[in-house]
Amino acid sequence: MPSNEAVVPLGRARDPRDTLGRPMRDLRISVMDRCNFRCPYCMPRETFHDSYRFLKSAERLSFDEIVRLARLFVSLGVQKLRITGGEPLLRANLADLVGDLTAIAGIRDVALTTNGVLLSKYASELKAAGLARVTVSLDSLDPETFRRLCGGFDELGAVLEGIADAERAGLVPLKINTVIQRGVNDEGALDLAARFRGTGIVVRFIEYMDVGNRNQWQQELVVPSAELHARIHARWPLVPLDRNYVGEVATRYAYADGSGEIGFISSVSQPFCGDCSRARLSSDGGLYTCLFATHGLDLRAPLRAGASDEELLSLIRTRWTARADRYSELRATLRAGVAQEPKIEMNYIGG
Ligand code: SF4
């Protein structure tokens, strides 16, 4: 099993561990709370309607503020950055930020997650700025199902074109994230697998999760990865692959016939909190230590009040070393127990 420990021999002050001994290795940076889709499991239109109050641009961290914070997170052990949203490609001049982030010493990977609609427009400039690769959210190849799952937009063609242009631009390995819901789009899973087999593009099937507070999540709509794996394996035999690194969320499989790889992200049936090394920065500068967090640490206020690097490092370190998050492992108990505090919305911190 490959490990990234040898790469960064840092002292505890510079490599803080949380209460479960987990280091901080991945930082997901939401650069935009707005999105040009209204996927019901993330930003249902009823809530995120036309007069919904999104952040004003001055409320979002500036690129300089994001880069400064990213540099501090890197000095605490972070090696991989993922740019998310909402929809990150709605943030103007994003290539400038990518250029600055990829220049940070110690960064090994800068990736981006997008719904793909604007990818054709920006793929080349993002690549030129240093972006390594992209992950595109695509839940169905059936135009009607696609339309329903993105909140009513006929953009399937644009997304598929964006994927092709991103590949042409060299933003590879390109991954597809597909959230599977029973009776909604699970019947199309094999079509997605068929479409990208042999292309080098890796489809990852994600179990439907109770992110945020608005998607009326039901356990019955979850298709456990084991079940989906069995369906695909029956069609194209699969062989397990090792993880690329400790903390990787997807369980990887190769097609036995050599046609590439797929993955399963099974937060519900096979939680992976044990080595979760992900921190999240919201577009207005909140530090969240779990996708299902209910509270964050405001870094924007001290940042704008003139805090020194050491003061900011101390805030981040203190929050991380106190971290005990393992929502997915406790989901059943937490959901059965007393009413939970509202969780942070996914458009705010990215997936
Ligand atoms: S539920 Fe929270 S702690 Fe568990 S893997 Fe997801 S983000 Fe990490």
Domain boundaries, the chain: 5-349
195, HSE (Cβ side, Cα atoms, 13 Å)? 16
The predicted-structure confidence for 43-67, as pLDDT tens digits, reads as follows: 999 999 989 999 999 999 999 999 9
- Whole-number Cα distances in Å, 196 to 192, 229, 334: 6, 16, 37
Residue nearest to atom 4 of ligand 1 (CA): 273
Q: What Rg, from alpha-carbon coordinates, does the chain have? A: 19
Taking the centre of ligand 1 as the mean of its atom positions, its distance from the CA of residue 309, in whole angstroms, is 27
The hierarchical CATH code for the domain 5-349 is 3.20.20.70
User: 44-53, 57-66, 71-80, 153-162: which range is least confident on average?
Assistant: 44-53
At residue 211's C-alpha, the angle toward residues 142 and 74, to 5°, is 105
Taking the centre of ligand 1 as the mean of its atom positions, its distance from the CA of residue 150, in whole angstroms, is 25
pLDDT band at 4 (very low <50, low <70, confident <90, very high): very low
Taking the centre of ligand 1 as the mean of its atom positions, its distance from the CA of residue 15, in whole angstroms, is 19
Q: Choose among 92, 95, 73, 108: nearest CA to 34.
A: 92
Contact present, 346 and 84 (Cβ < 8 Å):
no
Q: Choose among 135, 38, 36, 119: nearest CA to 80.
A: 135
Query: Which atom of ligand 1 lies at the shortest distance from residue 291's CA?
Result: 7
SS3 56: coil
Residue nearest to atom 7 of ligand 1 (CA): 290
pLDDT band at 95 (very low <50, low <70, confident <90, very high): very high
User: Which tokens hold the place of 265?
Assistant: 């992200």
**Average pLDDT of the segment spanning 27-56:** 95
Which pLDDT score is estimated for 11? 60
Residue nearest to atom 2 of ligand 1 (CA): 290
Pocket of ligand 1 (CB under 6 A): 267, 272-273, 276, 278, 290-292, 325-328
pLDDT band at 7 (very low <50, low <70, confident <90, very high): very low
Pick the more confident residue, 5 or 331. 331
Q: Choose among 110, 117, 152, 115: nearest CA to 133.
A: 110
Residue nearest to atom 3 of ligand 1 (CA): 326
- Cβ neighbours around 218 below 10 Å, total: 11
The predicted-structure confidence for 176-215, as pLDDT tens digits, reads as follows: 999 999 999 999 999 999 999 999 999 999 999 999 998 8
28, 273, 288: which to mutate for ligand 1, most atoms within 8 A of CB?
Answer: 273
Q: Give me the chain's average pLDDT, please.
A: 94
Which pLDDT score is estimated for 340? 72
The predicted-structure confidence for 107-147, as pLDDT tens digits, reads as follows: 999 999 999 999 999 999 999 999 999 999 999 999 999 99
pLDDT above 70 covers a percentage of the chain that reads: 96
**Average pLDDT of the segment spanning 236-243:** 97
User: Which tokens hold the place of 261?
Assistant: 């790889």
Taking the centre of ligand 1 as the mean of its atom positions, its distance from the CA of residue 344, in whole angstroms, is 13
Taking the centre of ligand 1 as the mean of its atom positions, its distance from the CA of residue 294, in whole angstroms, is 12
State phi, psi for 250 to the nearest 5 degrees. -85, 140
pLDDT band at 12 (very low <50, low <70, confident <90, very high): low
Taking the centre of ligand 1 as the mean of its atom positions, its distance from the CA of residue 291, in whole angstroms, is 6
Which pLDDT score is estimated for 338? 64
